[in-house]
């Protein structure tokens, strides 16, 4: 199996999901041991899957709804029985209960029962040229970029910038440099995007604030309705 065939078969994803036949699995394993790019994809994808499991395993708690503060009764607790005070308080309580039942709890239940698995791709800042990475997403969805950055002690942080096909900067993220890491998980937030060639630009920032462009990596975004 060569590299182009591995890309055509989406071998990395199918390998990690155990969807390859035994013959193709053996061929892909023999290939990625000699292919730095595929080996990086396998390692980054494995790390992404592990982190996703940790995030999805976290327990989600319903938001706390503030309880209306009781107004002090001007003439004892019997003043609460006056319609001018009792009716607004009951109405407010009904609004709070309705909001909990119709909005807060259903949204929490959906978040727990329907976790979203985002599309992802590996961005290798060491690579120059070659075939652009392709990511398939649904319209309005976000996606994840596994950004490989060669460790460099002179940089204390990085700035990632996303450019759309028109060349406009769409999004910026600051990434704190971690000496023991060379792959960073970058979640691109949802937006109304169109299909086309996007680019991720990476700048290294020194402790004194000096900025140096490290890479500009294009990738193809295929948006499905």
In this prediction, residue 23 carries a pLDDT of 83
In this prediction, residue 129 carries a pLDDT of 62
Distance (Å, rounded) from C-alpha 40 to C-alpha 149? 12
In this prediction, residue 104 carries a pLDDT of 46
In this prediction, residue 1 carries a pLDDT of 74
Quote the Cα angle for 22-18-25, to 5°: 30
Domain ranges across the chain:
1-58, 60-116, 118-225
Closest CA to 14 of 41, 35, 36: 41
143-148 and 183-188 beta bridge pairing = antiparallel
In this prediction, residue 8 carries a pLDDT of 73
If DSSP states are collapsed to H, E and C, what string results for the chain? CCHHHHHHCCHHHHHHCCCCCHHHHHHHHHHHCCCHHHHHHHHHHHHHHHHHHHHHHCCCCCCCCCCCCCCCCECEHHHHHCHHHHHHHHHHHHHHHHHHHHHHHHHHHHHHHCCCCCEEEEEECCCCCCCCEEEEEECCCCEEEEEECCCCCCEEEEEEEEECCCCCEEEEEEEECCCCCCEEEEEECCCCCCCEEEEEEEEEEECCCCEEEEEEEEEEEEEEC
In this prediction, residue 93 carries a pLDDT of 56
Contact present, 62 and 101 (Cβ < 8 Å)? no
173-to-54, 75, 186, 196, 201 alpha-carbon distances in Å = 23, 58, 8, 21, 11
In this prediction, residue 169 carries a pLDDT of 94
Contact present, 28 and 15 (Cβ < 8 Å)? yes
In this prediction, residue 217 carries a pLDDT of 92
Tell whether domain 118-225 is in CATH 2.60.40.10: yes
- pTM of the full structure: 0.52
pLDDT tens for the chain, 225 residues long, are 777 777 777 777 777 777 778 888 788 787 777 777 777 777 777 776 666 666 555 544 555 445 555 555 455 544 544 555 455 555 555 554 554 554 444 544 444 454 556 788 888 887 666 677 899 998 888 899 989 888 888 999 999 999 999 999 999 999 988 877 788 888 898 889 999 999 999 999 998 999 999 999 999 999 987
């Amino acid at each position: 199996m060569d590299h182009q065939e591995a890309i055509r078969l989406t071998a990395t994803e199918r390998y990690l999901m155990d969807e390859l036949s035994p013959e193709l699995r053996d061929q892909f394993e023999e290939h990625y041991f000699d292919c730095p790019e595929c080996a990086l994809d396998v390692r980054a994808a494995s790390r992404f899957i592990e982190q996703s499991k940790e995030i999805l395993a976290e327990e989600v708690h319903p938001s706390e709804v503030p309880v209306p503060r009781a107004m002090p009764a001007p003439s004892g607790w019997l003043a609460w029985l006056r319609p001018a005070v009792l009716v607004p308080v009951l109405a407010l309580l009904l609004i709070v209960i309705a909001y909990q039942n119709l909005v807060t709890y259903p949204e929490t239940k959906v978040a727990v029962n329907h976790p979203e698995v985002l599309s992802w791709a590996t961005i290798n800042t060491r690579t120059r040229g070659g075939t652009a990475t392709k990511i398939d997403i649904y319209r309005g969805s976000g996606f994840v970029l596994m950004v490989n950055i060669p460790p460099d002690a002179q940089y204390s942080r990085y700035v990632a910038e996303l450019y759309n096909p028109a060349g406009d900067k769409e999004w910026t993220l600051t990434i704190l440099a971690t000496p023991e890491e060379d792959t960073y998980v970058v979640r691109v937030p949802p937006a109304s995007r169109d299909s086309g060639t996007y680019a991720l630009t990476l700048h290294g920032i020194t402790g004194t604030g000096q900025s140096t462009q490290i890479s500009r990596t294009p990738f193809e975004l295929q948006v499905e309705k």
